[in-house]
Amino acid sequence: MIRKRKKFKKVLILGSGAIKIGEAGEFDYCGSQAIKALKEEKIQVILVNPNIATVQTSEDMADKVYLLPVNDYFVEKIIEKERPDGILLGFGGQTALNVGIELFKKGIFQKYEVNVLGTSVEAIRDTEDRKLFSKRLQEINLEIPKSNAVTSVKEALDTAKELGYPVMCRIAYALGGLGSGIAYNSSQLKSIAEKAFAYTEQILIEECLSGWKEIEYEIVRDSYDNCIAVCSMENVDPMGIHTGESIVVAPVQTISASENFKLRSYAIKLIRHLGIVGECNIQFALDPNSEDYRVIEVNARLSRSSALASKATGYPLAFIAAKLALGYGLIELKNIITRTTSACFEPALDYIVLKYPRWDLEKFKKVNTNIGSEMKSVGEVMAIGRSFEEVLQKAIRMLDIGMYGLVGNKVEFEDLEKELKSPTDKKMFAIARAIEGGYSLAEIYRLSGVNPWFLHKIKNIITTKEKLEQLSCSELSPSLLQEAKKQGFSDNQIALLTGSDELTIRRKRKELGIIPYVKQIDTLAAEYPAKTNYLYLTYHGQEDDLTFQEKNQVIVLGGGPYRVGSSVEFDWCCVNAVKTLKKLNYSTIMINYNPETVSTDYDICDKLYFEELTLERILDIYEKERPLGIIISMGGQIPNNLALRFSQANIKVLGTDPLNIDTAEDRHKFSSLLDKLQIDQPAWEELTSIEEAEKFAEQVGYPVLIRPSYILSGAAMSIALNKRELTKYLKKASNVSKDYPVVVSKFIVNGKEIEVDAVAKNGKLICYAISEHIENAGVHSGDATIVLPPQRTYLETLRKIKIVTRKIAQSLQISGPFNIQFIAKDNKIKVIECNLRSSRSFPFVSKVVKLNFIDLATRIIMGEEVPENNYSFFDLNFVGVKAPQFSFSRLKGSDPVLGVEMVSTGEVACLGDDFNEAFLKSLISVGFRLPKKNILLSTGPLESKVEFLESTRILKQMNYKFYATRGTANFMKENGIEAEVLYWPSEEREPNVITYLVNRKIDLVINIPKNTETVELDNDYIIRRKAVDFNIPLITNITFAKRFVEALSEVKLEDLKVESWDYYKV
């Protein structure tokens, strides 16, 4: 029967590094589950992941954590040092998989006798190499898109000619479809292929299946050849749009049983043939007009889709995959939800889930907003309900992009037809507009490729909206109200359409008994009782699955979708808050809806509501659950913004008083407070016209910083150096008015930014950490490289910061976490921002100083006594550096330059004996390669040229060869440094910068923009963009560049210590 399993003692897990487009929090969830699965077996777990904000790198997870780059160099060193007997490659996304393949090729696993657990590297290669993949499929007569793997641009063009345009161009070893694209003609293909060959040696040219249905399955297979299809998923957007960019529903909706089970059968056949052990994802294209199909790809690892499928079905794919990798059979494992039935089954859903991608395209300058075969979204949300209309509207609100639902906002399109045909991130709203505008569904189907079944459902929402618009609140019939709620209309949305207000609608519907009901996700559609409280609310119900008997409950609000500015850090905070609450014997309720998180793992808390973070929904839950109170300071800005409304609605907010939160959030109130406390702040004014703004700017002097109120990641912020720029900006942000005032403040040039992360109790500072930015003010704190403890800040400044922090904590009577940002110059400090909640840097500071700030904060919030921490962080024997991860390469056309708007998608942090070591480790962790020989310099305005001169000399001493644009080369020559002059891109003369970049003759580009806010297409932009497109390290910030050169001259790659987190003792 069951074979004896080989026992493993020590297993290495590779993480996925920083959050980036295509690799987000889902791998924190996967890795965390794997760690849990291994620890149950008493296996020692070693984790490599520099993403310090993850839950998996927490102290109570793996036995040892290496906050080091996930690349072949470092992983080999770790293997050499740790000598694990097993390694898991499937839990860290494409990054881990690629490193695994690389190490396998080099024979490292063999050399150190490391067993690759689960799917073999050979099988992984069969799925990753398109040529091998085709071959394997042909062996068992499965249909694949007609295609040819090519190794040169010419071959690509020849193949395309054979297949006929349009063709799909795919890259082997891709991550989130990077560089893939549809080419409609030869010149488009040429450009895609050239770019692709910068990353890979092989690309695939294939028949274009645009418009076919895209269907996915999550397949699990054990070493006994048992195979199950855990989840089926259907992309609402047809083939041609990357699944990461698609709205996805589970289970499949528009295909017949015959089609579904045929595809399932092919999937299992293939997975067996490939010999996958564990979990994988398989994607099919299905002809909308027959049962014809193609196998598109297999991901032989946990993926975004598998995280989604886990959350959609309640089946813990990563946990099970880890067990199977250890040799368990599916029948030996239990269904974690029912705890009685077997893990060898296929979940039956009695609800529908919908995943909606979250884009942040407007944050990126010049970016192409079309969505297509490459992934650009930075996060996603998942809605659970019992009708398509319900989940669609829920999901749209969950995105937190200001939409009330599918309808209710004013969204206009210049060219609707174009919008439908070449979709952007606003596609769903374009469809809604088209339906309202009288387009026939057939026409919309023709243009958008969205199956008419979905369109009918969307139309139902429009029809209800039109009915609602005709009525006032008092005229609303109970049945219409009920219908609207079943279609996912929020009270607020109904209020807007009927000219009422949210709470009036709420009162009315409650009087009518129209309330949502709580349903459990149980994997078996109620066939067996569930022991797990994985919950959602729906209006398609008549009873709650729960009885709400528990006392002593505390709700923690999550952070919503990952996006620029709010990511895995807040998830770490939420998870830690819940852990502490449990330790304090509270019953915990988590509300969040991001499928990529650990906080939405139903194991983390006593009850998980996979629900909207809106006042309405939280009230619904609050009224049923009657908790002791609600913690809003862990999930970032979404819960924080609701503070005041919670207290108005009589929701007990635990921790800092919502009125004080409002004082910190409201610019006017906060400013008066600072004045009262005699704390300095940059001069600012809230203005409602361009004239006023100009007057103010003249008064305080340029440059000025312009921004809207209530910010998180600095959306739409900008710096104006002069009147011309100010006017231009304000005109662009045309709705400057009484309702939408703009805040203009004095911008401090060459100021140093310093952050304080702290915890206070009843206004008394309990603990704090001060970190310093490498880049000068002007770079968003989320994009800055941050070092802890501060290295180049005057003691005097630090002392002042501490005093001000105490004052603010005292005056706002803070009880819980908070963060203050300062700007320091000449030993003078000014406060630029204050948030009475945990911040992005809480996991970083907690893990570097090894004091869990969230644990402390949670204890304080619950009224526990905590000791004041008098420890001085200046005594740390090591340095932590947090570096941002950018995803510019995914965002075609975007200008990879830093400014006051945040553009990074993730971060890492590494530890070192000194700054230089930690700095270089963190840079390598975000994909930076140390230059070997050739450096291209284009150092911008004269002052930065002068500033960089010393660094140039150091580089020269290190025997680097310089290439430079003319101005920079002349300046260097004047100062006795030779550089080969390259022509500007626009000069179209050789030797040209572009040619050198394309041919990868440059190892590093240092391009300092003349003005961070210029938007014109210029030479500098082209250089930066090409560097990104061709995967060449790029530095655009002068302070950063200087520190990099310093570090480079002091530390060599071999000097970077391979030590685990616990080596660095506080």
> Which residues form the interface with another protein (CB under 8 A)?
1-2, 224-226, 228-229, 251-258, 260-261, 264-265, 268, 288-290, 329-331, 340-342, 344-352, 386-388, 451-453, 456-457, 477-479, 482, 511-515, 517, 519, 524-529, 540-543, 545, 623-624
Nearest to 812 by CA among 751, 765, 779, 850: 765
Nearer to another protein, 162 or 623 (CB): 623
Smallest gap from residue 403 Cβ to another protein (A): 24
As measured in angstroms, the least distance from the Cβ of 395 to another protein is: 16
Cβ nearer to another protein, comparing 366 with 540: 540
Least separation, in Å, of the C-beta of 623 and another protein?
Answer: 6
The sheet with strand 906-912 has its strands ordered as: 828-835, 816-825, 752-761, 764-776, 786-788, 879-885, 906-912
User: Could you tell me which of 763, 758, 767 has the C-alpha nearest to residue 810?
Assistant: 763
Of 215 and 982, which CB lies nearer to another protein in the complex structure?
Answer: 215
Q: How far apart are CA 529 and CA 514, in angstroms?
A: 27
Residues 38, 680: Cα–Cα separation, whole Å: 53
Nearer to another protein, 387 or 600 (CB): 387
Q: Where are the alpha helices (DSSP H) in 538-642?
A: 568-583, 615-625, 637-641
| 997-to-783, 888, 926, 992, 1033 alpha-carbon distances in Å | 25, 16, 21, 9, 11
Of 103 and 481, nearer to another protein (C-beta) is: 481
Name 966's Cβ contacts closer than 8 Å, sequence gap at least 6.
981, 983, 984
User: Between residues 267 and 1034, which has the closer beta carbon with respect to another protein?
Assistant: 267
End-to-end CA distance of the chain: 51
Nearest to 178 by CA among 155, 153, 199: 199
List CB contacts of 479: < 8 A, sequence separation 6 or more.
none
**Paired strand residues for 824:** 752, 829
> Which among 1040, 1036, 992, 985 has a CA at the least distance from the CA of 1014?
1036
Residue 340 beta carbon to another protein: minimum distance, rounded to whole angstroms: 8
Phi first, then psi, for residue 460 (nearest 5°) are -55, -40
Residue 524 CB, nearest approach to another protein (Å): 7
At its nearest, how many Å lie between another protein and the CB of residue 146? 22
Residue 598 CA to residue 576 CA, distance in Å, equals 11
Beta bridge partners of 217: 232, 282
Q: Which is nearer to another protein, 534 or 1044 (CB)?
A: 534
* Secondary element (H or E) of residue 279: strand 278-286
Question: Rounded to the nearest 10 degrees, what angle do helices 130-139 and 121-128 cross at?
Answer: 100
How would you label 14-45 residue by residue, b for 16+ Cβ within 10 Å and e otherwise? bbbbbbbbbbbbbbbbbbbbbbbbbeeeebbb
DSSP category for residue 831: E
Which residue lies nearer to another protein by CB, 287 or 947? 287
| Cβ closest to another protein, residue 112 vs residue 453 | 453
Find out whether 74 and 52 touch, Cβ atoms under 8 Å.
Answer: no
Nearest CB to another protein, comparing residues 155 and 550: 550
Residues 823 and 755: their CA atoms lie apart, in Å, by 9
Specify the residue, 456 or 989, whose C-beta has the smaller distance to another protein. Answer: 456
What's the closest the beta carbon of residue 289 comes to another protein, in angstroms?
5
Task: Record the tokens describing residue 307, joined without a space.
Answer: 């995280």
Helices 317-325/26-40 angle, 10° precision:
50
C-alpha 285/C-alpha 287 separation (Å) is: 7
CB of 512 to another protein, least distance (A): 6
DSSP 573-585: HHHHHHHHHHHTT
Q: Please enumerate in sequence order all residues whose Cβ is within 8 A of that of 437, keeping only pairs 6 or more positions apart, or say none.
A: 416
- What's the per-residue H, E or C state across 311-361? HHHCCCHHHHHHHHHCCCCHHHCECCCCCCCECCCCCECCCEEEEEEECCH
User: Can you tell me the distance from the alpha carbon of 207 to that of 218, in angstroms, rounded to the nearest whole number?
Assistant: 25
Compare residues 441 and 862 and give the one whose CB is closer to another protein: 441
- Nearer to another protein (CB atom), residue 288 or residue 763: 288
User: How many Cβ atoms from other residues are within 10 Å of residue 138's Cβ?
Assistant: 11
Q: Least CB distance from residue 533 to another protein, whole Å? A: 15
Nearer to another protein, 298 or 481 (CB): 481
Quick one: 151 or 226, whose CB is closer to another protein?
Answer: 226
Based on CB atoms, which residue is closest to another protein, 359 or 534?
534
Shortest Å, Cβ 232 to another protein? 8
3-state secondary structure of 153: helix
Q: Which two tokens stand for residue 83?
A: 């000598």
Minimal distance, residue 540 CB to another protein, in Å: 5
Q: Which residue, chain included where needed, has tokens 């709400």?
A: 548
Closest alpha carbon to 787 in 1062, 1055, 1047, 1057: 1047
Residue 400: name the closest of 590, 211, 577, 561 by CA: 561
- CB 18 to another protein: min, Å: 37
Q: Provide the Cα torsion 368, 369, 373, 375; round to 10°.
A: 100
Question: Judged by CB, which is closer to another protein: 185, or 440?
Answer: 440
Q: Which is nearer to another protein, 17 or 251 (CB)?
A: 251
The Cα diameter of the chain in Å comes to 84
